[in-house]
Structure 1
């Protein structure tokens, strides 16, 4: 598959285009994945299947999993933190995000979320981390960002993406529509 050339990793994400205008300026400065370019998103499953194992059958299996969860709406109304390292937006409700992760992991048990480090991962839209920014800068951004919330979003698309830890490398391999609610 041409879209996988040079890829070393894959992920399944829920792009949140409604958030781009608000979080995009922060992510460009605070989130290293913005340069890859991975859009504002909530992760369904990372890492996913190795790029050399992505086949039409895998894509069909992902599509079948996702067909069980209908499209939904959510709101991102507050900034949250993982320790002092990662600033993120919390979706409300988070249950549909968790359900998407559960159905995909059930089909692909060899791909536990975050390599098994977080078996029940917290759905989140990452805005920044100390990987790129200092804590004081992230705290200022969090205060500024909180004043721009809430963000309302319709979650009706899921993407399988592939790339490497280098700027400009991530691409959409396949996009899936969630069934109407």
Structure 2
């Protein structure tokens, strides 16, 4: 994925809207959602698998990702993963098995030794594909959390 220009990320809605159908008003609506959502700290705490085909990292807490995904799905009428899964599982994809599953197992061991990784959710990105390369089309900053 990185070779296609996709940086590390936790997907909220895919597909969101067809790239050629995204209007300025849609981006304004997304910016409004972001501006009314406080940024948050999280950690990538463990390595997990979807079957033995997709290696991913677990974000904790995951509830803010779930809540924001559901909020976006409701706002835009776009169910995550086109409704293919009963539950939203926030995750950071590390790799897909495409011929050398042992390579992902080696990566799993190396990553496990480096966890947890502390992170901050601070922006929503709209990414679009063009000629097999992904680009960030829009960035919408999340609100700063309230001062304590």
User: TM > 0.5 between the two?
Assistant: yes
Cα deviation, residue 103, structure 1? 1.0
Change (3 A) 1:119 1:61: farther
The residue that corresponds to 2:20 in the other structure is 52
* TM-score normalised over the length of structure 1: 0.76
Give, in whole Å, the separation in 1 of the partners of 2:139 and 2:110: 33
The residue that corresponds to 1:41 in the other structure is 9
Give, in whole Å, the separation in 2 of the partners of 1:89 and 1:149: 9
CA contact (8 A) 2:6 2:134 kept: yes
What are the equivalent positions in structure 2 for 1:1-181 lying under 5 Å apart?
33-109=1-77, 111-131=78-98, 133-164=99-130, 166=132, 169-181=133-145
CA contact (8 A) 1:156 1:177 kept: yes
Q: Which moved more, 1:71-80 or 1:116-125?
A: 116-125
Give, in whole Å, the separation in 1 of the partners of 2:93 and 2:64: 18
* TM-score normalised over the length of structure 2: 0.92
* Runs of 5+ consecutive residues of structure 2 not aligned to the other structure: none
Give, in whole Å, the separation in 2 of the partners of 1:43 and 1:164: 18
The residue matched to 1:122 in structure 2 has which SS? coil
Instruction: Name the count of aligned residue pairs.
Output: 145
Cα deviation, residue 164, structure 1? 4.4
Deviation string for 1:122-174 (max 9, x for gaps)? 0000001113x5221111110111001110001111111111472xx211111
Give, in whole Å, the separation in 2 of the partners of 1:47 and 1:164: 15
Cα deviation, residue 119, structure 1? 4.3
Post-superposition, which runs of at least 4 consecutive aligned residues in structure 1 deviate over 3 A?
A: none
Give, in whole Å, the separation in 2 of the partners of 1:144 and 1:67: 37
